[in-house]
Amino acid sequence: MFPARIWREFPQRYRREAAICKKCGKRYFPPRLICAECGGRKFETYVLPDEATVVTFTVIRVAAQQYSDMAPYAIGIVKFDDGLQMMGQIVDCDVDKLKIGMKVRLEFRKVQSHDHHGVLSYAHKFVPKWY
């Protein structure tokens, strides 16, 4: 992935920065330039919490080459207390024991390595909450 694209997404990928429309209060992750609800262009930044609940998931057993070391792994959609949802990888778990409704914690992880020469991509993944 081209470094400029990764760099532009650091606020949401690294710090979980979401946006609230100042006009109608609609929340967005990732943030948007124009509110889809009211057309508002002014947003307030806020940080998503580090815990969420699994809404749904699927298990990838035949992975793309760059993710083959992680297979089998789960991709899930999780929901935060404020109603926002986020998609990402669920890791550090037995994929056969995953359940909808389980609590997860967000952890900072490497997402892509781009072989041994490319820029490293980091973001948050979900791990089962245990403390």
Partner 1 sequence: MVGIVGYGAHIPRHRIKVEEIAKVWGADAPSYKKGLLLREKSVPTPDVDTITLSVEATRNALRRAQINPKDIGAVYVGSESHPYAVKPSGTTVAEAIGAVPDCHCADFEFACKAGSEAMFVCLGLVKSGYVKYALAVGGDTSQGAPGDALEYSASAGAAAFIMGTKDVIAEVLHTHSFMTDTPDFWRREHEFYPQHGGRFTGEPAYFRTVTGAANAIMKKAKMTAKDFDYVVFHQPNGKFPLRVGEMLGFKKEQIEPGWLSPRLGNTYSGASPMGLTATLDIAKPGDLILMVSYGSGAGSDAFVWRVTDRINEVRDLAVHTTKLLDENLIYVDYGTYAKYRHKILKNK
The residue ranges that bind partner 1 (CB under 8 A) are: 10, 14-15, 69-70, 89, 91-92, 107-111, 120, 122, 125, 127, 130-131
d(CA 19, CA 33): 10
Q: How far is the CB of 130 from partner 1 (least distance, A)?
A: 4
Q: Which is nearer to partner 1, 69 or 96 (CB)?
A: 69
Q: Which is nearer to partner 1, 38 or 120 (CB)?
A: 120
Q: Which is nearer to partner 1, 23 or 50 (CB)?
A: 50
Q: Which is nearer to partner 1, 12 or 54 (CB)?
A: 12
Q: How far is the CB of 128 from partner 1 (least distance, A)?
A: 8
Q: How far is the CB of 37 from partner 1 (least distance, A)?
A: 28
Contact 90, 127 (CB under 8 A): yes
Q: How far is the CB of 120 from partner 1 (least distance, A)?
A: 6
